[in-house]
Homo-oligomer: A and B are copies of this chain.
Amino acid sequence: MPALSSRTSALLVVFAGFGLASAQTFRRLGACPTLGCVFPPDQTDFLAGQLFDIRLEVHAPVNGSEASNNGVPDEKFTFCIQNGKGSCTDVTKFFKVQDPVLEKWSFSYFEDLFAKDAGTPNLVNVASKAYRGLSLTKPGTYTAKLSYNGGSSTVAKWVVRKPATKRKAKNVLFFIGDGMTQAMITAARLIAHKSVNGNYQSLMQMDQMENLGHQMTHSIDSFITDSANSATALYTGKKSSVNALNVYADSSKSALDDPKVETIAELFRRRIGGALGIVSTAYIADATPAALCAHTRDRGQSAIVVTEYLNGASAVNSTLHWPTSCEGPDVLFGGGAEQFIPGSGSPNGTDYYKAFQAKGYKVVRSNTELSAVGNKDKTLGIFSISNLAKWLDRNVLKDNLKGQKNSPTGDGTDATDQPGLKEMTIKAIDILQARSKNKGWFMMSEAASIDKMMHALDYDRALGDLLELDDTIRASIAHLKKIGELEDTLIVVTADHGHGFDVFGGADTKYLAAQTTDRKKRSAVGTYAASGSSGYTVADGMSPNNNTIVFGSQGPNFPVTWNPRYTFAAGFGANPDHREDYALQTKGPRVPAVSSADGAVANPNDKPDGFSVPGTLSVDESQGVHSLQDVSVFASGPGSEAFRGVYNSVDIFFKIADVLALGKTH
């Protein structure tokens, strides 16, 4: 946070005593502090030369605690920008652009839960203008001032950070363990690595990275984030709102006209022209992969996302020119065949495999095809409908792959030949290396189902996918070394947010199942000394206290057994109604709650041997939710020392941009 102190001093510091509306649960508009809204808002940092849109809004609430001006918004607002201590220049002159036409709309929101229960929304009328595709190249501070309502103003302080001039790394391999906290990494270590008398005999690859940091994951307008706006922070250096991809959320109806910001992938393409790879175990239009290229307030627009992958952001809204693009990434591997098979999920119902092929892509749809395809062409790999299978089902409980009818071909067969994150990532490295023409490459590789399985309270599957991520990092380092690129590649591993999972003891699952009352079943949980040793690192029938090192059929770095009698017991305070038995869910991913007339209730078929745990979340929630805690950052390779310490999520973007020297001051 280099500019923190200078900006802090510019803000008012006053002591107590205000009386304003206390709207919190639903706020009028995210990063808009008053009736005048400036996007990018106050406290925005830019990379020198990074492209962005400006959106101005003047609000006139018709009713509610902020009702103003009889609901008529000021249409004569003005906007000027001042660099350092210079004069404030009108935006059209400052950026040498035409003034756009005035836009007008209205929207409504609830002030709080009482208003929602009563069905009494507030209506707001809006006058607005937007300026598109701008950039600031001169490092320093800027003051952007919106003047409206005859004397009111909204001021945004912007900072253009001084960029690095020397490129330190040729390639960047950026791993995201979606939803991955340190407690999960610790639990994964417990189940996959043998400890003898408190001393681990092997470690996670993450444990062994050269540099360690923490990043803060909160949103621009809420302290808990979702994966869309946290990925936006990591890739653009801008905090945003829940569900937004590389835009600031404005109040207009369209999700595609919100003010955009340029991503690291777009910058890498525009500045360097290097090769770009996107790999995920989620459907490929999911938020974390989508956030490299897409610009929309609504992460749910999957067909839009794949259109932007193929043709760039301007293709989906040609009236709003966006002069940058990561159009046609060299590698795109994941799930989500429903956006490619012609039908309701694909762009305009067309065959989107064909659309990619028409632009020169090789298309692969199984692990066999993936390993057979060459390295010289752009490659689209889609390996299932929806998210890819979890590591545990692909490797240990393979029967669960059957009966899914999720073949990426859409022929109704099962996608039983899916690659894992490791196979996708190693192949992607080879293609990117072959296609980069020595300009270097950037790849994002996401272990998506750590998050998805934490949502389902399916801790075993979440940890399986976390261990697959760790194994992928380990294999990537070995592969990069083999092809001579390790010394030129910055590797960063982090998460986009957490889930408040932790292990609190062990459970004797045999004893638990044998008891007949909920209260007695809970006696099976052993805490402190009775947590004992890990039951996952010994063979079936072996005591957890046996110090012999054994390997299971997945080799080192994975559990020897996934279903020991003595399991770990874990949980979090943010739950839907559910049942718990602390044992492995062998029949495919867990479904903890089902809907009823009275909201979500515990799924009676989930953990039937367990005990009942009424939830703490709203009964609208049938899953676990994200949490607040800072997440870890592990980095190795050239420039990785910059990732030490504690910083904001947005700083990750600036650190990577500086290692690649993507900033331009002219």
Which A residues form the contact surface with B (CB < 8 A)?
1, 4, 7-8, 11-27, 31, 33, 41-44, 112-114, 181-183, 185-187, 189-190, 195-203, 206-208, 210-214, 216, 218-226, 233, 239, 241-243, 498-506, 508, 511, 514, 518-519, 522-535, 538-552, 560, 565-566, 568-575, 580, 598-599, 611-621, 625-630, 632, 644-646, 648, 650
- Once A22-B543, A541-B19, A628-B183 are accepted as A-B contacts, the answer to whether A1 and B200 lie under 8 Å apart by CB is yes
- Once A221-B529, A522-B618 are accepted as A-B contacts, the answer to whether A573 and B25 lie under 8 Å apart by CB is no
The CA-CA distance from A113 to B521 in the complex, in Å, is: 11
Residues from chain B with a CB closer than 8 A to the CB of A531 are 222-224
Residues from chain B with a CB closer than 8 A to the CB of A199 are 1, 4, 7, 43, 239, 648
Task: Please tell me if the beta carbons of A24 and B544 are within 8 angstroms of each other in the complex.
Answer: yes
The 27 listed contacts between A and B (C-beta, < 8 Å) are: A11-B549, A14-B549, A16-B539, A16-B550, A24-B526, A24-B533, A25-B506, A25-B508, A25-B530, A25-B532, A26-B530, A27-B532, A33-B546, A114-B514, A189-B216, A190-B218, A195-B223, A198-B648, A223-B531, A242-B529, A243-B529, A519-B619, A524-B618, A527-B625, A571-B616, A613-B614, A613-B616
- Once A23-B543, A183-B627, A573-B575 are accepted as A-B contacts, the answer to whether A8 and B506 lie under 8 Å apart by CB is no
Prevailing SS type, chain A contact patch = loop
Residues from chain B with a CB closer than 8 A to the CB of A187 are 628-629
Task: Please tell me if the beta carbons of B24 and A527 are within 8 angstroms of each other in the complex.
Answer: no
The CA-CA distance from A114 to B510 in the complex, in Å, is: 10
The CA-CA distance from A568 to B218 in the complex, in Å, is: 13
- Once A219-B529, A500-B504 are accepted as A-B contacts, the answer to whether A548 and B197 lie under 8 Å apart by CB is no
Residues from chain B with a CB closer than 8 A to the CB of A630 are 182-183, 185-186
Residues from chain B with a CB closer than 8 A to the CB of A620 are 523
> Most chain-B Cβ atoms within 10 A of its Cβ — which of A189, A211, A529, A538?
A529
Task: Please tell me if the beta carbons of B20 and A505 are within 8 angstroms of each other in the complex.
Answer: no
Query: Distance in Å from the Cβ of A255 to the closest Cβ of chain B?
Result: 15
Task: Please tell me if the beta carbons of B551 and A15 are within 8 angstroms of each other in the complex.
Answer: yes
Task: Please tell me if the beta carbons of A224 and B570 are within 8 angstroms of each other in the complex.
Answer: no
Query: Distance in Å from the Cβ of A218 to the closest Cβ of chain B?
Result: 6
The CA-CA distance from A162 to B590 in the complex, in Å, is: 50
- Once A27-B532, A183-B629, A529-B242 are accepted as A-B contacts, the answer to whether A566 and B207 lie under 8 Å apart by CB is no
Task: Please tell me if the beta carbons of B616 and A574 are within 8 angstroms of each other in the complex.
Answer: no
The CA-CA distance from A207 to B647 in the complex, in Å, is: 8
The CA-CA distance from A198 to B224 in the complex, in Å, is: 11
Task: Please tell me if the beta carbons of A519 and B18 are within 8 angstroms of each other in the complex.
Answer: no
Which listed residue, B14, B19, B31, B198, touches A218 by the CB 8 Å rule?
B198
The quantity of this chain's copies bound in the complex is 2
Residues from chain B with a CB closer than 8 A to the CB of A44 are 197
Task: Please tell me if the beta carbons of B223 and A532 are within 8 angstroms of each other in the complex.
Answer: yes
- Once A185-B630, A200-B648 are accepted as A-B contacts, the answer to whether A541 and B500 lie under 8 Å apart by CB is no
Query: Distance in Å from the Cβ of A113 to the closest Cβ of chain B?
Result: 5
Residues from chain B with a CB closer than 8 A to the CB of A216 are 186, 189, 200
Q: Which 5 A-B pairs have the closest CB atoms?
A: A571-B573, A500-B502, A198-B239, A183-B629, A504-B574
Which single residue of chain B is at the shortest CB-CB distance from A195? B218
Query: Distance in Å from the Cβ of A483 to the closest Cβ of chain B?
Result: 25
Task: Please tell me if the beta carbons of B616 and A614 are within 8 angstroms of each other in the complex.
Answer: no
Residues from chain B with a CB closer than 8 A to the CB of A580 are 616
Residues from chain B with a CB closer than 8 A to the CB of A550 are 13-16, 18
Residues from chain B with a CB closer than 8 A to the CB of A528 are 222, 224-226, 242, 625-626
The CA-CA distance from A13 to B198 in the complex, in Å, is: 18
Task: Please tell me if the beta carbons of A626 and B504 are within 8 angstroms of each other in the complex.
Answer: yes
Which listed residue, B7, B18, B20, B629, touches A502 by the CB 8 Å rule?
B629
The CA-CA distance from A51 to B206 in the complex, in Å, is: 35
Residues from chain B with a CB closer than 8 A to the CB of A181 are 183, 629
Which listed residue, B549, B611, B613, touches A13 by the CB 8 Å rule?
B549
The CA-CA distance from A241 to B199 in the complex, in Å, is: 14
Residues from chain B with a CB closer than 8 A to the CB of A113 are 508, 511, 523-524
Q: A18-B550, A223-B532 are in contact. List 14 more A-B contacts (CB 8 A).
A: A4-B199, A14-B548, A14-B550, A24-B544, A24-B545, A182-B629, A187-B628, A198-B648, A211-B645, A223-B503, A223-B506, A223-B533, A518-B614, A613-B616
Query: Distance in Å from the Cβ of A334 to the closest Cβ of chain B?
Result: 24
Task: Please tell me if the beta carbons of A13 and B551 are within 8 angstroms of each other in the complex.
Answer: yes
Task: Please tell me if the beta carbons of A196 and B545 are within 8 angstroms of each other in the complex.
Answer: no
Task: Please tell me if the beta carbons of A43 and B552 are within 8 angstroms of each other in the complex.
Answer: no
Query: Distance in Å from the Cβ of A197 to the closest Cβ of chain B?
Result: 4
Task: Please tell me if the beta carbons of B552 and A16 are within 8 angstroms of each other in the complex.
Answer: yes
Residues from chain B with a CB closer than 8 A to the CB of A508 are 24-25, 112-113
Residues from chain B with a CB closer than 8 A to the CB of A569 are 574, 616
> Most chain-B Cβ atoms within 10 A of its Cβ — which of A11, A19, A22, A625?
A22
